[in-house]
Structure 1
Amino acid sequence: MTSNLADDASRPTTNSVPVPSALVPHLDQCALLLDIDGTLLDLAPTPREVWVPPELEQTLRALHERTSGALALVSGRSINDIDLIFAPLKLPAVGGHGAEMRLLSSAEQVATRAPPLDPDLKNRLAAIARISPGILLEDKGYSLALHYRLAPHTEKAIYESVAAIRAENPHAPLEVLPGKSVCEIKHAGVTKATGVLELMNHEPFKGRRPVFLGDDVTDETVFAIMPELRGLAFSVGRHSDIVAGHFDEPRDVRAWLARLLDPQLAPG
């Protein structure tokens, strides 16, 4: 990871992953907000094929404890999907690009903050998957995702089809989220940023300094609000002008998170 912050002097680790020294002693004052796909986990051919390394589960569990519960996963995935991937670990989460929220890992209820897509529109959008058998359709209720990692040649046709449906329904409150080999259509007005803003109004996150890590276009909305929250943002896999620094790939993120638990870096 490289950093643009003057006060984030880096310390070398065995994995050559720098750690912002200004952050580590103050984990008890921070809220760690972590995207999943492409940030914590390596991308896979399909969403169901991602793999959670056992050591990552241990790291997240320990950081959740060190931050007194102020660690949340912020993802386009539904919270139910997040729980399945990380089982048996269960963490606070903002799911569905802000459509869902769980403040405490022990909470059974998940607050829904976005209305479902219109059924007729959803059916029309779902039919786009027939362009190719390599397109994977994911129905989240409040959004619809068309994954084309197995059929990259269909990207243009997918977006043209979505644009045509939107043109025929100009008053439908739809938003298109382009991602890494995925086109997601959701209800407008709810984003990862609105979810994070709501999250930071509640304990145990309230009053803490958010530290957000993300890799995709959909994470840009969260990058943009970090200054007003006195927070830090780091991008993964690409540079961004509005972040404090970046990691090259998810394995660097995992090593950095593990390094945050190093007792030599903890306050004495």
Structure 2
Amino acid sequence: MKHNVAEMTDEVDTAPDDDAAPESVPVPASLVPHLSQTAVLLDIDGTLLDFAPTPREVWVPPGLAKTLKRLHARTNGALALVSGRSLNDIDLIFAPDIFPAVGGHGAEMRLEADSEAVAAHAPPLDKELKRRLAAIARLSPGILLEDKGYSLALHYRLAPHAEKAIFEAVSLIRADLPNAPIEVLPGKCVCEIKNAGFTKASGVLELMTREPFKGRRPFFIGDDVTDESVFAIMPDLNGLSFSVGRRATGVAAHFDAPSDVREFLAHLLDDERHASLS
């Protein structure tokens, strides 16, 4: 097991250099007795799931859905997926299972698996703006366009050479619309454009005011730049955050890869079961 996960304490790291990175340690037993008071918040792409050449090609590894369902039950429903993907897209990936989720970078929320979306305060991206942004995909074969409703993403994993041209084209459109309330989110081989005023952090803050999440101590695992807003608010919620693939500023520790995250989550359940039998 290759996680670089330190013991979970109330203190956070201050981005030490690589030489100061902690040695690999077992899954922290300190969390195990407290799952009934914990809210488990998990990013999807690059955190739970490995990246694929295109967003539609990601797949759920064997055992992950079972682990998530067990965590959902053990936390009395206080498990949520936190993603830039729409709720509909999240459901397609994990079908037939449905989980509580914050989707669209905080634009959508579902508190229970069988409930309707709530707190969708964000307006959809302007249609004319979408049209102009969508035209950027013509810059090169391999640029994939993803319309999420509340945002639009230009994926260039299949056309890495186009990165600079994509961001320059987006900058030109923004310069032409200086008063447009939009925000550009750079990610791993993706440039995403959405309306300003909502983020994953604003979605998590709203989520944590609702049952069954209210009053619990959250921990969040994420990997990308868009997850940094959630890392930043975890101390305000008496929570902890972990990054994947890199040591992000302010996190308690990090995992090397999504496979380590999946193993960590499975071991949380196993260790708790063993503790209850001892």
- In structure 1, what is the Cα distance between the partners aligned to 2:195 and 2:72? 31
**Residue of structure 1 aligned with 2:139, choices 128, 131, 140:** 131
User: Paired residue for 2:113?
Assistant: 105
**Residue of structure 1 aligned with 2:31, choices 6, 20, 23:** 23
> SS at 2:98's partner residue?
coil
Deviations 1:69-125 (A, max 9, x none): 000000000000000000011000000100110011111345422101111111101
Structure 1 residue runs without a partner (length 5+): 9-15
> SS at 1:85's partner residue?
helix
**Structure 2 counterparts to residues 1-268 of structure 1, below 5 A:** 1-5=3-7, 7=9, 18-262=26-270, 263-266=273-276
Matched-pair contact (CA < 8 Å) for 1:25–1:267 = no
Give the deviation of 1:133 after TM superposition: 1.9
Deviations 1:21-73 (A, max 9, x none): 21111000000000000000000000000010120010001110000000000
TM-score by length of 2: 0.91
Give the deviation of 1:267 after TM superposition: 8.1
Give the deviation of 1:7 after TM superposition: 4.5
- In structure 2, what is the Cα distance between the partners aligned to 1:20 and 1:241? 21
User: Paired residue for 1:11?
Assistant: none
Identity of aligned residues (%): 72
Give the deviation of 1:132 after TM superposition: 1.1
- In structure 2, what is the Cα distance between the partners aligned to 1:159 and 1:97? 20
Structure 2 residue runs without a partner (length 5+): 11-23
Deviations 1:208-233 (A, max 9, x none): 00010000000000000000000000
- In structure 2, what is the Cα distance between the partners aligned to 1:131 and 1:241? 35
Change (3 A) 1:100 1:7: closer
- In structure 1, what is the Cα distance between the partners aligned to 2:101 and 2:277? 28
- In structure 2, what is the Cα distance between the partners aligned to 1:94 and 1:188? 17
- In structure 2, what is the Cα distance between the partners aligned to 1:228 and 1:19? 24
Q: CA RMSD in A?
A: 1.5
> SS at 1:104's partner residue?
coil
> SS at 1:255's partner residue?
helix
